[in-house]
């Protein structure tokens, strides 16, 4: 997994509440057996018309945002299904950071497994960042995970909270399966205890 | 270790019994008793194991089934969609290579993963259950801590039989009173989601309790827990009771003999202690609930069937007003329209929310001797091969066919429309499934979520009807 330390890039405004994972990556893209190549399906039903042509009104089709690396979105981003294809699609498109007032639990979790940083901010801060994002390609933001800060184009700084353990994994790009496997003795001990107390399992 | 003398919730108890390791910051390694696997969210996880040379730690605690992608037409001659066929073949091969029990598309035990877990007795009270599917919350109806995970976590569970977790908060939803005739478990959960919103349960595990929950069958409790995720909760829970034990006894993978007695003694301790702390409490009176229909593109967009479509300016914030306007436009509806005036093109009965035998019985009772409206195409997709067989033994299929319903093979089908079952652009559907998101049942398709009996009545009349005074 690619570590996430700092990111400076264009932020795209997606001012919609409850952006669900069906919107992020529609089901026709879930038939793959790979993790890569899903960027073409990102927001497909909003990005493309029925005939496959681009919808020029959709934010990521506008010249200023075609190379966006940060998404600023409305409340409850990523609700719905557990499909990890949603963060895979964001990553494949080039988006490595999503900022919102809240995220659905499973999507939030899935981001960290893929080197994507989801940042929760207050409504007031979100409104400000959304305004910044609307300024287009000339208004880049810098996200500093170590310092837990977002630096806006006009020098403003928004602080954010982050779980220490998740931060550690993301900063170092660590594979958590490898970390857990180091705890195999604890898992063995648990299993032998459980085999006595709940032998029917 | 938790202080065993402090009163604990049902969630606290299951959690405490599964903690393998706790880090100084409170992050835990949680043991997973049961892992369900399906074809769409697992191929990349198995590929990850292969690339790192890892094995499945506990194949006997893992059960695989195909459900999302399979056609619901006759599949004895194979699957014609090449991508779906590849995914199905990949699961068969992965199950074989890693030694996991697997129900293929022709197995009579095949079905929607959340229907077959309980059916096989794989789902048991007090267990931790995960699956790469958000509707894993269904299994909470048995007093199991069950939730959806992403593919990286599927790989983590396959490799280690554990998950890295932080403990969620406790939320209790008490549903008092008795449900009126024509009002069902589906209406209870839609009402709850309408009340708290789709982010209302974020970061919480919801325990459902109260007279109306106790009165529900296991099927009804599964419907409620199933849609906990639509309320944002990671998991839903109902404490096990005699109904739970009666449902499980004799199931193929449920404990037998002395093991059953021992298990039952443990299961009986799985109740929230008097005085246990809940971070949030919600109360609802079942007696006041109407049959509910969603009007918009979020499961929180609910209204009584006797009500009207809301106006965009009814939103409390600018964001909410914009969301309502967007949903009305997508759904092709105007504020103020009566719900019972909304005409339908399609009806879908099935899914992990409402594809169980009790749901099909309710539909059969409602449609017996009647005909599906000529303007409507209606399909019934049983939740599993065993549900299908049971329905056919009871002669329900004959009632459905005589009424003009299409009686299909089991699978997820038009709940998420990954297979050929989907809405055409602009088509409007009454659906017993769980999500009415834009495009969920097909590009530009319009979904209204309802109970099975409401879907059945809508199929017959060609528009929504209030089932409290219909029939």
The interface predicted TM-score (ipTM) is 0.95
Q: Does A20 contact B435 at a Cβ distance shorter than 8 Å?
A: yes
A27 to chain B: closest CA residue: B418
B204 and A CB contact within 8 Å: no
- pLDDT tens per residue, range A78-122: 999 999 999 999 999 999 999 999 999 999 999 999 999 999 999
pLDDT along chain A (201 residues), means of 10: 95 96 96 95 96 96 96 97 97 98 97 97 96 88 98 94 95 93 97 97 95
* Torsional sign, CA B7, B12, B17, B23: negative
Q: How far is it, in rounded angstroms, from Cα A19 to Cα A43?
A: 10
Mark yes or no for CB contact B159/A181 under 8 Å.
yes
Give the C-alpha distances (Å, rounded to integers) separating A61 from A43, A49, A65, B24. Answer: 11, 12, 7, 45
**Residue B275 to chain A, least CA–CA distance (Å):** 27
Distance from CA of B101 to the nearest CA of A (A): 16
Those residues with Cβ within 8 angstroms of residue A132's Cβ, 6 or more apart along the chain or in another chain: A11, A72, A139, A141, A152, A153, A154, A156
Answer yes or no: do B152 and A79 touch at CB < 8 A.
no
User: Which has the closest alpha carbon to B332: B344, B319, B321, B314?
Assistant: B344
Question: DSSP state, B411?
Answer: S
Nearest 5°: the CA angle B382, A78, B351 is 5
**In the beta sheet, which residues pair with residue B394?**
none
Sheet holding B162-165, edge to edge: B19-22, B28-31, B162-165
From chain B, the residues in CB contact with A22 under 8 A are 416, 435, 437-440
| Contact flag B439-A176 (C-beta cutoff 8 Å) | no
**Which pLDDT does position A131 carry in this prediction?**
95
Within 10 A of B443 (CB to CB), how many other CB atoms are there?
18
* B40–chain A Cβ distance below 8 A for any pair: yes
Chain B residue whose CA is closest to A201: B33
Minimum-distance CB partner of B159 among A16, A75, A177: A177
**Window 107-166 of A, Cβ < 8 Å to B:** 109-110, 113-114, 163-165
B162·A187 Cβ contact <8 A = yes
Instruction: Give the count of beta carbons closer than 10 Å to the beta carbon of residue B271.
Output: 18
- Collect all residues of chain B within an 8 Å Cβ-Cβ radius of residue A20: 298, 435, 437
Among partner residues A32, A74, A190, which is closest to B20 by beta-carbon distance? A190
What is d(CA A123, CA B83) in angstroms, rounded to the nearest whole number? 42
What's the pLDDT at B3? 52
CA distance B62 to B49: 15
| Per-position pLDDT tens, chain B of length 471 | 445 579 999 999 999 999 999 999 899 999 999 999 999 999 999 999 999 999 999 999 999 999 999 999 999 999 999 999 999 999 999 999 999 999 999 999 999 999 999 999 999 999 999 999 999 999 999 999 999 999 999 999 999 999 999 999 999 999 999 999 999 999 999 999 999 999 999 999 999 999 999 999 999 999 999 999 999 999 999 999 999 999 999 999 999 999 999 999 999 999 999 999 999 999 999 999 999 999 999 999 999 999 999 999 999 999 899 999 999 999 999 999 999 999 999 999 999 999 999 999 999 999 999 999 999 999 999 999 999 999 999 999 999 999 999 999 999 999 999 999 999 999 999 999 999 999 999 999 999 999 999 999 999 999 999 999 997
Q: Residue A137 has what pLDDT?
A: 76
B contacts of A131 (beta carbons < 8 Å): none
Q: Nearest Cβ partner of B21 from A22, A79, A186?
A: A186
How far is C-alpha A89 from the chain's CA centre? Answer: 10
Per-residue confidence (pLDDT) for residue A139, from 0 to 100: 78
What is the C-alpha to C-alpha distance for residues B192 and B174, in angstroms, rounded to an integer? 10
- In terms of CA atoms, which chain A residue is nearest residue B264? A200
Using a CB-CB distance cutoff of 8 angstroms, which residues of chain A are in contact with residue B127?
201
Strands ordered across the beta sheet of B377-380: B406-407, B377-380, B346-349, B428-431, B446-449
Question: Do A181 and B149 make contact, defined as CB atoms within 8 angstroms?
Answer: no
B250/A contact by beta carbon, under 8 A = no
Round to whole Å and give the CA distance between B45 and B24: 29
CB-based contact B148 A82, cutoff 8 Å: yes
Query: Residue B116: which H helix or E strand, with range?
Result: helix B113-119
pLDDT value, residue B1: 44
**Touching A: B residues 115-174, CB under 8 Å:** 124, 126-127, 132-134, 136, 147-153, 155-156, 159-162, 164, 166, 168
Query: What confidence score (pLDDT) does residue B4 get?
Result: 58
A contacts of B155 (beta carbons < 8 Å): 177
How far CA B395 is from CA of B381, B402, B405, in Å, comes to 15, 11, 14
Q: CA-to-CA distance for B91 and B39, rounded, in angstroms?
A: 5
Which chain B residue shows the shortest CA-CA distance from A195? B33
Q: Which residues contact B82 (CB under 8 A, 6 or more apart)?
A: none
Q: How far is A28 from chain B (nearest CA, A)?
A: 6
CB contact under 8 A, A186 and B437: no
Q: Do A106 and B263 touch (CB under 8 A)?
A: no
A23 and B437 within 8 Å at the Cβ level: the answer is yes
Closest Cα in chain A to B152: A113
């Amino acid at each position: 997994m690619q570590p996430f330390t700092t990111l400076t890039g264009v932020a795209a405004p997606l001012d919609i509440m409850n952006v669900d994972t069906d919107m992020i990556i529609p089901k026709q893209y879930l038939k793959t057996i790979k993790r890569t190549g899903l960027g073409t399906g990102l927001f497909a039903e909003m990005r493309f018309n029925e005939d496959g042509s681009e919808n020029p009104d959709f934010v990521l089709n506008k010249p200023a945002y075609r190379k966006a690396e940060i998404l600023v979105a409305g409340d409850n981003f990523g609700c719905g299904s557990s499909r990890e294809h949603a963060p895979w699609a964001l990553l494949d498109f080039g988006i490595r950071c999503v900022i919102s007032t809240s995220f659905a639990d499973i999507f939030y979790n899935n981001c960290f497994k893929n080197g994507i940083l989801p940042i929760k901010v207050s409504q007031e801060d979100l409104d400000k960042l959304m305004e910044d994002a609307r300024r287009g390609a000339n208004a880049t933001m810098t996200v500093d995970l170590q310092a837990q800060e977002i630096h806006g184009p006009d020098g403003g700084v928004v602080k954010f909270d982050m779980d220490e353990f998740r931060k550690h994994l993301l900063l170092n790009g660590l594979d958590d399966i490898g970390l857990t496997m180091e705890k195999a003795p604890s898992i063995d001990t648990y299993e032998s205890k459980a085999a006595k107390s709940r032998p029917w399992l | 270790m938790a202080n065993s003398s402090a009163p604990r919730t049902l969630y606290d108890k299951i959690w405490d019994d599964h903690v393998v390791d706790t880090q100084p910051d409170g992050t835990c390694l949680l043991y997973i008793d049961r892992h369900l696997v399906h074809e769409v969210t697992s191929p990349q996880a198995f590929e990850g194991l292969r690339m790192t040379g890892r094995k499945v730690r506990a194949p006997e605690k893992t059960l695989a089934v195909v459900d999302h992608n399979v056609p619901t037409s006759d599949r004895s001659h194979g699957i014609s969609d090449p991508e779906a066929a590849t995914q199905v073949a990949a699961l068969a091969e992965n199950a074989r290579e890693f030694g996991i029990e697997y129900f293929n598309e022709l197995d009579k035990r095949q079905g929607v993963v959340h229907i077959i877990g309980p059916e096989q007795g794989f789902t048991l009270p007090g267990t931790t259950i995960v699956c790469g599917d958000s509707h894993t919350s269904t299994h909470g109806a048995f007093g199991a801590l069950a939730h959806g995970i992403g593919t990286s976590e599927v790989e983590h569970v396959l490799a280690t039989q554990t998950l890295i977790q932080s403990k969620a908060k406790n939320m209790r939803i008490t549903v008092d009173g008795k449900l009126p005739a024509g009002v069902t478990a589906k209406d209870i959960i839609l009402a709850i989601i309408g009340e708290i919103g789709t982010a209302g349960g974020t970061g919480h595990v919801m325990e459902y309790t109260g007279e109306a929950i106790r009165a529900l069958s296991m099927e009804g409790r599964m419907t409620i827990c199933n849609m906990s995720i639509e309320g944002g909760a990671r998991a839903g829970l109902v404490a096990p009771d005699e109904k739970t034990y009666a449902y499980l006894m004799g199931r193929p993978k449920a404990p037998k003999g002395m093991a059953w007695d021992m298990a039952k003694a443990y299961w009986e301790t799985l109740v929230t202690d008097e005085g246990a702390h809940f971070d949030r409490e919600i109360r609802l009176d079942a007696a006041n609930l109407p049959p509910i229909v969603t009007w918009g593109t979020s499961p929180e967009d609910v209204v009584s069937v006797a009500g009207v479509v809301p106006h965009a300016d009814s939103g409390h914030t600018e964001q909410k007003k914009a969301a309502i306007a967007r949903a009305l436009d997508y759904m092709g509806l105007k504020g103020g329209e009566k719900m019972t005036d909304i005409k339908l093109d399609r009806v879908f009965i099935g899914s992990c929310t409402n594809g169980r035998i009790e749901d099909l019985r309710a539909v059969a009772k409602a449609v017996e001797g009647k005909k599906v409206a000529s303007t409507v195409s209606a399909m019934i997709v049983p939740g599993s091969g065993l549900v299908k067989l049971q329905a056919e033994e009871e002669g329900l299929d004959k009632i459905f066919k005589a009424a003009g319903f299409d009686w299909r093979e089991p699978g997820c089908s038009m709940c998420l429309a990954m297979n050929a079952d989907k809405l055409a652009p602009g088509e409007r559907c009454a659906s017993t499934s769980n999500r009415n998101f834009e495009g969920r049942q097909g590009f530009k398709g319009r979904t209204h979520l309802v109970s099975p009996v409401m879907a059945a009545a809508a199929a017959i009349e060609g528009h929504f009807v209030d089932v409290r005074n219909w029939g």
